[in-house]
């Protein structure tokens, strides 16, 4: 039994590839994928039996509407990033990875939100300082804008300290039997590479 559980979402937006979905969203608890959405199908779907059995149609409707809304946001994000990096053509990716960890023995929790552009770190939330930091000049304007938005910062604080953990605990309860059979590869990988690079699902 592993005591630390990890819950995260990966958003990957792609421009410059005609057949590929402009946005894909994957939800994971530990290494187990429990949901999937892409902008071609426009539908969030369950990927494990435990989520299928424990949540109803409302859950999937809400998830679908959220992700459809995010599709436009991410298209805009790619356009903004391309302008800031002085790019007009080519294949580009904009990624978001966010989620939380919970130790069911000590009760310790942590959260993370980080953005990447073309596989490099672009922006991340420092939860201790409650502010956004960018490792690249092109991300400075966004970091400054978001840090001045106290409502956004408070919402982030609330989400990572409470809501994210509550969902993680629910998912762990739902998937108890299958989740406890898996290790903590993703969790360890994330901790070692904290904020240095956005993790690609293919890695």
User: Nearest 10 degrees: CA dihedral of 105, 113, 26, 155?
Assistant: 90
In angstroms, the first-to-last Cα distance of the chain is: 25
Q: What was the pLDDT predicted at 159?
A: 96
Q: What was the pLDDT predicted at 26?
A: 97
pLDDT 10s digits, 165-187: 999 999 999 998 877 654 444 44
Q: What was the pLDDT predicted at 178?
A: 78
Q: What was the pLDDT predicted at 194?
A: 39
Q: What was the pLDDT predicted at 113?
A: 96
Percent of the chain whose predicted confidence (pLDDT) is above 90: 81
pLDDT 10s digits, 40-84: 999 999 999 999 999 999 999 999 999 999 999 999 999 999 999
What the block records as the tokens of 14 is: 């792609």
The vertex-182 CA angle with 97 and 57, nearest 5°, equals 60
In this prediction, residue 104 has a pLDDT band, given cuts at 50, 70 and 90, of confident
Domains and CATH numbers, the chain: 4-192 (3.30.500.10)
Measure the CA–CA gap between 175 and 124, rounded to whole angstroms: 29
Q: What was the pLDDT predicted at 31?
A: 81
Average pLDDT over residues 25-42: 95
| Total residues found in the chain within this entry | 203
């Amino acid at each position: 039994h592993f005591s630390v559980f990890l819950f995260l979402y990966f958003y990957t937006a792609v421009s410059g590839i005609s057949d590929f979905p402009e946005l894909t969203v994957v939800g994971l608890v530990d290494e187990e994928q429990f949901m999937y959405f892409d902008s071609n199908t426009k539908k969030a779907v369950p990927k494990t039996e435990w989520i299928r059995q424990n949540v109803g149609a409302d859950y999937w409707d809400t998830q679908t509407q959220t992700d459809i809304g995010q599709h436009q946001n991410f298209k805009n994000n790619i356009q903004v990033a391309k302008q800031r990096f002085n790019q007009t053509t080519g294949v580009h990716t904009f990624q978001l990875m966010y989620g939380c960890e919970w130790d069911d023995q000590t009760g310790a929790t942590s959260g993370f939100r980080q953005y990447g552009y073309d596989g490099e770190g672009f922006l991340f939330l420092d939860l201790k300082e409650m502010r956004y930091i960018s490792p690249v000049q092109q991300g400075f304007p966004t970091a400054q804008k978001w840090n001045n938005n106290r409502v956004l910062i408070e919402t982030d604080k609330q989400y990572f300290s409470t809501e994210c953990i509550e969902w993680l605990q629910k998912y762990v309860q739902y998937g108890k039997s299958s989740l406890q059979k898996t290790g903590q590869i993703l969790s360890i990988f994330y901790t070692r590479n904290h904020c240095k690079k956005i993790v690609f699902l293919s890695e």
